[in-house]
Structure 1
């Protein structure tokens, strides 16, 4: 399956990004949707090493790309780094849109496919999709519907949103009912259910160490539409029940879930957004070359965890890439040359 309206990457040019320090951005424009004009934003930082390898990072819900340290780590390991701010998020958000709004995660196929075409046109031959939280669900869903693509060669998920962090009753009855109602009331809004305390654990103005835009990633998360709930529910159903991947997949998650209602330092030592048991359970149901990795004291965004924890995360990621992706590439090159 290929996205429509792909813009010729040769005709587009990058401009300096808000992150500075060598980061550049490229606007990707698409046909209007149910809210009007639509765009996505591709951000890149190229490795100082000449390399045919790259990663494409997809952010989560109520999020955008700001993790410059992650980009620098991949650059140092010989990867050109790319990230997408999906339509209606971060750099791509426009005033006439509802922040984060989507009616199907397949809407992101255009964003991801065009970005991958740009990356390939820039002479990257081995590309890894990386997704965090809802982005992890999105890239898994995408990869499972784009089998045998020559645009990507592996998938890494950082605490993917494979299930709602709700009670059994809410998951089995509430989510399907809301998804059904979305057919008639797609723009009806409902609380996202996410606590502001996760944001407090990240932002340097509260208890965290990271500086990012509170306009694009606010502590007080906007209500979501019923169609957003339906979009997540539809993608989760596929991932939970029938999905097969034909590229290697690595799923990383914390060793524990934090469900506290008041702030404490415990928020710095676990996943305060999703149930890690759900992630592990559904990751192991995916068919294909699937590896799972538990990270002790990891926060929801593992690369934003405390320093020793994120260093362990990077070690596990690069070890996995060497064993499951790079090694296969070297073998393929040897066969082709032999």
Structure 2
């Protein structure tokens, strides 16, 4: 039975550790955070009314140099009846231990371990109810990780929602193909060699100027620094390999929703334009790459959105939530007519590594 403890986000949130073994930097842990919907009022239960996302579980994965802290995002789901779970991957946020290189990993497939364990916990919490639906929700690098995981494990998830997913390199596919051999060579001999820091802190400043202040106030700067963590060559090699797999097509059969800012801006110097655009990704390249995810992909472009759309200015933020709600209502109406999926075999989340 999973043991939950109080989380740093306070009331309404709890967390549990997922033990992953160890590597050369020491013990590895991932952290699963949970927020549950409140029980509906008695009169609604007596009338048999159901909230739109009753019977839905959500698994959120953060982006690079990030962790889960977005209370409002969790509340969006739980207020509609869904159970919300967020995973701080190994060496990120709650899972980062002294002496570890933040975010370091050499192969994105290695995340199968914590994603599989999180999947097992979510299923166990529901009593292995085969009628429940699982929605994967990923931001930036987390969107890439979840897209690849869903492709490798068909049948685990029922929908994939991506918030500004990092599906293609900023220099386009051609640029990625040029630098990939050089990065691979460097990673082979100097895997933890760090590239020059090109983050001037403008993205963090843009969030602070227009984003939800109550959420941003609780950020731990050790877990989410003003400038991003250093980028190692081995980590970048893993990311480029993931982009290449997306470029060849993932063949997802579940419905996919991709939310992106309407445009990008290059953050070479500060200007007010940086509070109304994605300053991290090339959103046009991502939009093109998103079409290779699967056979049912919806792309929503949000005017004035930041890279994390749910930390944008009030107007674009509300629009992002409204678009997400609209997509979910359509998806939920369609899934209500489906026969329940059979439950996956017990322990399926650990089949790849045999742990």
TM-score by length of 1: 0.90
Matched with 1:109 is 112
* Larger RCO: 1 or 2 (CA < 8 Å, sep 6+): 2
After superposition, residues 193-204 of structure 1 pair within 5 angstroms as: 193-203=198-208
Give per-residue Cα distances to partners, 1:304-331, cap 9 Å, x unaligned: 111121111111112112212x123311
After superposition, residues 163-312 of structure 1 pair within 5 angstroms as: 163-166=168-171, 170-191=175-196, 193-203=198-208, 209=213, 210-211=216-217, 212-312=219-319
Q: How many angstroms apart in 2 are the aligned matches of 1:290 and 1:103?
A: 29
Matched with 1:61 is 64
Q: How many angstroms apart in 2 are the aligned matches of 1:241 and 1:334?
A: 31
Give per-residue Cα distances to partners, 1:84-116, cap 9 Å, x unaligned: 100000000001210111101111111111111
Give the C-alpha shift of residue 181 in structure 1: 2.6
RMSD of equivalent CA atoms: 2.1
Matched with 2:5 is 15
Unaligned stretches of 5+ in structure 1? Answer: 1-9
After superposition, residues 39-188 of structure 1 pair within 5 angstroms as: 39-49=29-39, 51-123=54-126, 125-149=132-156, 152-166=157-171, 170-188=175-193
Give per-residue Cα distances to partners, 1:148-194, cap 9 Å, x unaligned: 23xx2110000000122237774331233112331222122213533
Give the C-alpha shift of residue 208 in structure 1: 7.1
TM-score by length of 2: 0.85
| Match status 1:35 vs 2:25 | yes
Unaligned stretches of 5+ in structure 2? Answer: 41-53, 343-355
Give the C-alpha shift of residue 220 in structure 1: 2.5
Q: How many angstroms apart in 2 are the aligned matches of 1:311 and 1:207?
A: 11
Give the C-alpha shift of residue 295 in structure 1: 0.8
Q: How many angstroms apart in 1 are the aligned matches of 2:12 and 2:255?
A: 30
For residues 334 and 121 of structure 1, do their structure 2 counterparts lie closer, same or farther at Cα, with a shift above 3 Å needed?
Answer: closer
Count of residue pairs the alignment pairs up:
322
